[in-house]
Amino acid sequence: MKRIGVITSGGDAPGMNAALRAVVRSALHRGVEVLGFHHGWRGVISEEVTPLNTKSVGGIINLGGTILRSARCREFREPEGRAQAMEVLRDNRVEGLVVIGGDGSLTGAKVLMEEHDIAVMGVPGSIDNDIAGTDYAIGFDTAVNTARDAIDKVRDTAYSHDRVFVIEVMGRNNGFIAVDVALACGAEGVLIPEFPFSIAEICENLKEQRSKGKSSSIVVVAEGAGKGNEVCDFIVKNTGLEARAVVLGHMQRGGSPSAFDRVLALRLGALATNRLLSGYRGEMAGLVGNRLVTHPLSYVLSQTKTVDAERLLLLGVMAQ
């Protein structure tokens, strides 16, 4: 290959810039040119393209967001949109494409490869951490730490006022962020979509904890399990305790990536690029059990990754 393309696509995640840096510098190291397409698949379709050199990705390893920008692109979901994207890639003599993004973006890469026979490689980037084939997606660690920092602060005021605080965190249809941050902050309860914990059960637990002397509590709610405000109202009605809700929202997507996310991004970005340049295609780079791996996208996208029940049990024991 003489020239490859790269995009960051879907919801941005801290560490995407570090991954981009790894893709560009790994390719240049092997004498291969890199074109960056802005705004994910949308920028491929509309030919928003810039050549990237080593300087283009200097000074970005510590930056949140993505300098290439990102987007969710409806047009690319249609065959006509993908055909247009492929025409642009051909016109720009792009022989392979590295896609940094979540499951939607990786699905797009797989479909493009199947329809148009272009070599693609995936790098998992999503704060939700719901991508199979890797223990960690780029951005998850930073998002958990951002939520942890916010909840530690809320804990101070919860304690001063003897209140319950319900904290709604992101995660789309899963509870990876919720469970890890609940554990890290010593939360008294967590609601996630994967396990059928009822709010009524949480209310009972909160009352019991109060009877044992606890004066304030944190309940973490994954957005896929319910709205923080509604859970808060339910708790007030059913326990008589004073409660407030905080929705952390998009702050979880921003901020300087943690050292873990930076190193993960560099390793996965470099691996995906080196595999692409060595003739492999249709794979995603991942980290499983602290080892770098690659899996076919067809495998990754057919699996469902779920939260460990062990973590939830631990939370229950710790929250007595």
Asked if 171 touches ligand F6P (CB under 6 A), the answer is yes
The residue (of 5 and 175) whose beta carbon lies closer to ligand F6P is: 175
The encoded tokens of residue 88 equal: 């642009």
Token pair of 27 as six digits: 């390719």
Q: Three-state secondary structure along 26-42?
A: HHHHCCCEEEEECCHHH
Tell me, residue by residue from 110 to 129, as one string, x for binding to ligand F6P by CB under 6 A and - for no binding.
----------------xxx-
Among 5, 6, 7, 11, binds ligand F6P (CB under 6 A): 11
Stretch that binds ligand F6P, among 45-53, 168-176, 186-194, 268-276 (CB under 6 A): 168-176
Query: What's CA 254's distance to the chain center, in Å?
Result: 11
Nearer to ligand F6P, 118 or 182 (CB): 182
Quote the radius of gyration of the chain (alpha carbons, Å).
Answer: 21
Which of 43, 96, 102, 286 is the binder for ligand F6P (CB under 6 A)?
A: 102
List the x/- string, 127-166, binding to ligand F6P by CB under 6 A.
xx--------------------------------------
Structure tokens at 178: 């919720």
| Cβ atoms within 10 Å, residue 248 | 21
CB within 8 Å of 319: residues ≥ 6 apart: 186, 187, 188, 189, 205, 209
| Residue 173 vs 256, nearer CB to ligand F6P | 173
State which of positions 252-281 bind ligand F6P (CB under 6 A).
253
- Maximum separation of any 2 CA atoms in the chain, in Å: 70
Instruction: Report d(CA 9, CA 316) in Å as an integer.
Output: 37
For residue 31, what are the contacts with CB-CB under 8 A and spacing of at least 6? none
Of the candidates 107, 110, 148, 162, the residue with the CA atom closest to the CA atom of residue 131: 107
Q: Which residues contact 247 (CB under 8 A, 6 or more apart)?
A: 168, 228, 229
103 is catalytic: no
Shortest Cβ 249–ligand F6P spacing (Å): 9
Q: Which is nearer to ligand F6P, 102 or 108 (CB)?
A: 102
Binding mask 217-246 for ligand F6P (x = CB under 6 A): ------x-----------------------
| Selected catalytic residue, list 12, 91, 103, 128 | 128
Q: Show which residues are catalytic.
A: 128
Residue ranges that bind ligand F6P, judged by CB under 6 A: 11, 72, 102, 126-128, 170-172, 223, 253
